[in-house]
Chain A
Amino acid sequence: MRFAPILSVIAAFLLAALPLPDSIVAFKPDWVALTLIYWTLTAPPAFGLVSAFFIGLALDTLSGSLLGQHALGFVLIVYICGKFRLRLRAFPVVQSTLIVAALLAVNEFLLLWIDGIAGRTVPLGERWPPIASGTLLWIIVWSTFDRGREHAPARL
């Protein structure tokens, strides 16, 4: 399990690069951001700010965005998550989901904003479905994986 964080990030990269049919491509969640959030909330956080930064740079290369665009978003996400780690872990699913939705929205907004500053044209309407699908995914992941993790020490 020591390599689980790295393997899951690689898996997230593969999912991000996977071509999807046109009908659902707009709903493709930000896999890497979700993975980073998850591993920042685990018992010892698997990723720090610096690794988030470099993972962001790699994603920038993969997706052809400005170098540093995803890196900035990930650093911000991991910082906020790290700051409120303990509280986020104690929150019930509904509350943590709301916060994750807010984090994903902040990430998307940053990407959109930077695209705007750099003069790249971005269809505004297509930015929001990934937040919705990412949030849905979070509910599933958080209630399956981390519930077990939370309850295990309680039984000891």
Chain B
Amino acid sequence: MSAPGTASNGLGLGIRSLGFRALLLTVAACSLMVIDHRTARLESVRVALSFVVYPVQMFVDAPPRAWRWAKTTFAERQELLAENERLRREQLHASAKLLRLEALEAENRRLRELLDSTARISDRVLVAEILAVDMDPYRQRFNVNRGALDGAYVGQALLDANGIVGQLVNVAPMTSEAVLITDADHAVPVIVTRNGLRTIAVGTGDHGRLRLPYLTNSSDIEVGDLLLSSGLGGVFPAGYPVGRVIEVRRRPGQSFADVIAEPAAALDRDREVLLVWTGDKALPGLPEAHDTDAPAVDEPASAPAVETTTDIHSSGSTHVADARGAP
């Protein structure tokens, strides 16, 4: 702001000119971009600017929020009753499934102890709402209403009820910016449940499609194969659905097959997502997920830190072993 002005006092004419200031600001912009692209040092600048942008985001998100509020407030009694009934039934199903799952989890832990393998600690989650704010239309990004104050961190995985949604790329105090797994610059390490084949699912820029570009023509992949996160990248927790293969084309002239998968999560219909704390990030000491409407805050993971440091690798590789062993 005052840099060119103060400099001009000592250095004489020309320095206050429009061209000189434009040059100076251009250089400033370019260096900012280089620093921002190469390092993470501009986090504080982004945080400061996010306070300017926050009111804009809240204002734009207000009408949809008000509409949702009005819809629930003035909903018909019958509708509410029907929805309540449906939810109650779903809840019953889910809790019955959970009972079985808990038994399985206990068994799994016992077996892992027998095998002398590290235990997978359970993940901690927190519900975040997606803000109805338009970002760069050329990239698949969105904002959520949770930030550093809620304990969110860069690289944190986002899930919905059906599978993996994406990860956080920028965290401001009260909001965060997330990138979808279908963004053209995003990739998820996955594993095929049928045979334990490991590969990488790359986004296409289209909400309904993921590409698996690193599978050769001879690799064992079929339409309908379920892809789970393998946990190998260390970002996404292992074992959550990523997508299902919908198209496999093997062209004899090329060494790689064209494999397209459909994301498991309802990427373009979600209104709420779950932030997941995994691995050593799930340990107590971080701000507790105190949200009252968080549905499933798992048992506070009390595994000692020594075990969790190797969690990512061991769980990923044992997962592969498990899946291969299955018929």
B26 touches A19 (CB 8 A): no
Complex: how many Å from CA A60 to CA B46? 9
Least Cβ–Cβ distance between B267 and chain A, in angstroms: 13
Contact partners of B137 in chain A: CB under 8 A: 25-26, 28, 126
B151 at the interface (CB under 8 A from A): no
Complex: how many Å from CA A79 to CA B33? 20
Give chain B's interface residue range (CB within 8 Å of chain A).
Answer: 35 or more
B280 at the interface (CB under 8 A from A): no
A68 touches B36 (CB 8 A): yes
B55 (CB) vs chain A CBs: closest residue = A10
Decide yes or no: A62 and B57 within 8 Å by CB, A67-B36, A69-B33, A79-B22 being known contacts: yes
The listed residue with most B CB atoms (<10 A of its CB), out of A20, A56, A68, is A68
Partner of B18, one of A10, A25, A83: A83
Partner of A72, one of B33, B57, B134, B138: B33
Decide yes or no: A61 and B46 within 8 Å by CB, A50-B21, A50-B25, A66-B36 being known contacts: yes
A41 at the interface (CB under 8 A from B): no
Give chain A's interface residue range (CB within 8 Å of chain B).
Answer: 35 or more
Contact partners of A53 in chain B: CB under 8 A: 25, 28-29
B11 at the interface (CB under 8 A from A): no
Contact partners of B50 in chain A: CB under 8 A: 61
B52 touches A58 (CB 8 A): yes
Decide yes or no: A122 and B138 within 8 Å by CB, A14-B60, A50-B25, A68-B30 being known contacts: yes
B25 touches A67 (CB 8 A): no
A76 at the interface (CB under 8 A from B): yes
Kindly supply a per-residue 1/0 record for chain B positions 137-162, scoring 1 wherever the CB is within 8 Å of any chain A CB and 0 otherwise.
Answer: 11101000000000000000000000
Contact partners of B59 in chain A: CB under 8 A: 14
A75 touches B32 (CB 8 A): no
A13 touches B56 (CB 8 A): yes
Interface residues of A in 11-55 (CB under 8 A from B): 13-14, 16-20, 25-26, 28, 49-50, 53
Selected interface stretch from A91-99, A113-121, A131-139, A140-148: A113-121
Decide yes or no: A14 and B22 within 8 Å by CB, A26-B137, A56-B29 being known contacts: no
Complex: how many Å from CA A68 to CA B60? 24
Complex: how many Å from CA A68 to CA B137? 18
Least Cβ–Cβ distance between A110 and chain B, in angstroms: 10
Contact partners of A68 in chain B: CB under 8 A: 28-33, 36
Least Cβ–Cβ distance between B224 and chain A, in angstroms: 29
Contact partners of A56 in chain B: CB under 8 A: 29
Decide yes or no: A76 and B26 within 8 Å by CB, A61-B53, A66-B36, A121-B184 being known contacts: yes
B35 (CB) vs chain A CBs: closest residue = A67
Interface residues of B in 177-204 (CB under 8 A from A): 177, 184-185
Kindly supply a per-residue 1/0 record for chain A positions 70-83, scoring 1 wherever the CB is within 8 Å of any chain B CB and 0 otherwise.
Answer: 01100110010011
Least Cβ–Cβ distance between B205 and chain A, in angstroms: 7
Decide yes or no: A67 and B33 within 8 Å by CB, A50-B21, A61-B52, A79-B18 being known contacts: yes
Decide yes or no: A123 and B138 within 8 Å by CB, A14-B56, A49-B18 being known contacts: yes
Complex: how many Å from CA A57 to CA B29? 9
The listed residue with most A CB atoms (<10 A of its CB), out of B22, B57, B138, is B138
B1 touches A64 (CB 8 A): no
A61 (CB) vs chain B CBs: closest residue = B49
Contact partners of B46 in chain A: CB under 8 A: 61, 67
Complex: how many Å from CA A25 to CA B64? 17
**Which 3 pairs across A and B sit closest by C-beta, in order of nearness?**
A68-B32, A72-B29, A121-B184
Can you list 5 A-B pairs with a CB-CB distance of less than 8 A? Answer: A13-B56, A14-B59, A25-B137, A71-B32, A121-B185
Q: A19-B134, A64-B177 are in contact. List 10 more A-B contacts (CB 8 A).
A: A10-B56, A17-B133, A20-B134, A53-B25, A57-B49, A65-B136, A68-B33, A120-B139, A121-B184, A126-B138
